Amino acid sequence: MTHRKEDNRRDELMEILWRLGEQGEPTIEQVKENYPPEGYLAVLDELTADGLVERNGENISLSDKGMEFAYGIIRRHRLAERLVVDVLGGEGMEKAACEFEHVLAPEITDAICTLLGHPKTCPHDKPIPEGKCCAEARDKLESAVIPLSKLKPGKTAKVASINTRDETRMLKLMTMGITPGAKIHLRQKRPAFVIDIGESQLALDRSLAEKINVWRPEKS
C-alpha cells in the first residue's frame, strides 16, 4: 500500500509530539520550531479533528488514540535507527530511519526487532516502545530462568544472570565464582542455602539466593 506524502506529514508531526512529550507537555511554539513551518497548523488541525491530538490553549498533547498511533511510528523509527547502526554501519541513519518508518509492516517490524534481540533503546538512548514480540520473548525467557531460591535441592543449574545493582553484592557473588555460565549444585535450602560451585562449598542467605538467576534444569 502506497504511503502518501500527506500521511508522511501527519506521521512526522505525531512523532514530534511524542518526542516533545517525553520532555513535558508540548506547546504550539515548540511544534513550530521542530516542524517545517509551511502548513503545520493545517496538519495540527487535521490531527485534532481526527481525535489524535488535544489542545488546551498553547499546550498540545496526544490523546489516548494518538498515543496508540504514535507508539507504532516511534517504534518503527527507533528500530530502524538500530538496524542502520547495528547492521548496516550507520551511514545516513536519520534519513534511512525516516524512510523505513513509513513502509514497515507490523510483522516486518517485529521481525527486525527479533533480529536485533529486542533492543530497549535507540542509538540516541531513547526508549524503544515494546512490541508483542518483546513480551513473548520475555515470557519465554522468564519461563526458562528461575531464581536459585526456587531450585530444588539436589539439582544442578547454570547461572543465567545476577539480578542486583548493588556493586558490593555483585562483587561478593563474583568473588565466590558465581558468574553467568557457572554451574551450581544446590545441596540444601534450610537453615541456609548450601551450594557447590567448582571445588568450593558455600552458604548463602535467602536474600542472596534470590538475586541469582539460573537456567531451569531440564526434566530428567
Do 12 and 107 fall into the same domain? yes
Residue 138 resides in a domain: no
**Which class for 12: exposed (0-12), middle (13-18), buried (19 or more C-beta within 10 A)?**
buried
End-of-domain residue from the set 107, 130, 153:
130
Q: How does pLDDT run across 75-104, given as a tens digit for each residue?
A: 988 888 888 887 766 565 666 666 666 556
Do 117 and 155 fall into the same domain? no
Domain that holds residue 169: 144-215
CA torsion, ordered 52, 19, 61, 104, to nearest 10 deg: 10
More confident: 2 or 51: 51
Do 117 and 17 fall into the same domain? yes
**Average pLDDT score over the chain:** 84
Q: How does pLDDT run across 150-168, given as a tens digit for each residue?
A: 999 999 999 988 887 777 8
Do 19 and 117 fall into the same domain? yes
Q: How confident is the model at residue 136 (pLDDT cuts 50, 70, 90)?
A: confident
Task: Take residue 164 and report the three cell numbers written for it.
Answer: 542486583
d(CA 96, CA 116): 17
Do 81 and 42 fall into the same domain? yes
Residue 137 resides in a domain: no
Residue 54 resides in a domain: yes
Do 53 and 105 fall into the same domain? yes
Would you state the pLDDT for residue 2?
Answer: 43
End-of-domain residue from the set 74, 101, 130:
130
Q: How confident is the model at residue 124 (pLDDT cuts 50, 70, 90)?
A: confident
Residue 199 resides in a domain: yes
Do 113 and 185 fall into the same domain? no
Do 182 and 86 fall into the same domain? no
End-of-domain residue from the set 76, 100, 130:
130
CATH number, domain with residue 114: 1.10.10.10
Count of structural domains, the chain: 2
DSSP 8-state secondary structure symbol assigned to residue 30: H
**Which class for 26: exposed (0-12), middle (13-18), buried (19 or more C-beta within 10 A)?**
buried
* Cut 0.75: pTM above it: no
Q: How does pLDDT run across 173-212, given as a tens digit for each residue?
A: 888 899 989 999 999 999 999 999 988 999 999 988 988 9
Q: What count of other Cβ atoms lies within 10 Å of the Cβ of residue 145?
A: 16
Residues forming a β-bridge with 59: 27, 56
